[in-house]
A and B are shown apart, each in its own frame.
Chain A
Amino acid sequence: SQKIEQNSEALNIQEGKTATLTCNYTNYSPAYLQWYRQDPGRGPVFLLLIRENEKEKRKERLKVTFDTTLKQSLFHITASQPADSATYLCALESGGSYIPTFGRGTSLIVHP
């Protein structure tokens, strides 16, 4: 069955460092991969989308990579700030589907 894995343990880093979050998947051939941010008690907010034929996407301090051979996406936040503390969800979608499948998310805690 299709499976999306995000590290269930919280990632603790110091302010100013680069945070790297991982999204691995199995039994899936996604055409699109998205990253969302979710704050406690709120709905997710879209951050970035990357397509299967793209290796890397950037937006301000954010960078996403997508390796379809490794079946993995990495999400980087450079110069992290305490305000970046949240849960980050990855979502995969096949080309023939309009339904994204979400991972469980990884909690990021940036310490001042």
Chain B
Amino acid sequence: DGGITQSPKYLFRKEGQNVTLSCEQNLNHDAMYWYRQDPGQGLRLIYYSQIVNDFQKGDIAEGYSVSREKKESFPLTVTSAQKNPTAFYLCASREQGAHYNEQFFGPGTRLTVL
């Protein structure tokens, strides 16, 4: 089955720790995205990548970092610099240059800071 997976589903972090959220897709999509969703809020863009070895900051990139070494993988690191990281994190992928195509979302990772 083609799809996009995220792990872990739940993640707990102590203050001051960095944590990495995994996102993998086998849809052969060039573009990948990371969003953050807070209760009652829309999706806010953290980072996006349109091609391997290239990525751009979204609206709320501070305190986060990403890498795109492989087409199928786009991990997100939540650093200790992110002051309020507790949220639901969603990864998505999409065919590059395809406005008429939808984004495919993973199941999400819920991060809680203890």
Contact = CB atoms under 8 A, between A and B. Distances in A.
A11 to B, nearest CB: 15
A43 B106 contact: yes
What does DSSP make chain A's interface, helix, strand, loop or mixed?
A: loop
B58 interface: yes
Interface residues of B, number: 27
B102 A43 contact: no
B2 interface: no
Interface in B49-90: 50, 58, 88, 90
Contact of B107 (A43, A46, A98, A100): A43
Given A99-B45, A104-B42, 20 more contacts: A31-B99, A34-B102, A36-B102, A41-B88, A41-B108, A41-B110, A42-B107, A42-B108, A43-B90, A43-B92, A44-B43, A44-B103, A45-B105, A49-B100, A49-B102, A89-B42, A98-B31, A99-B58, A100-B103, A104-B40
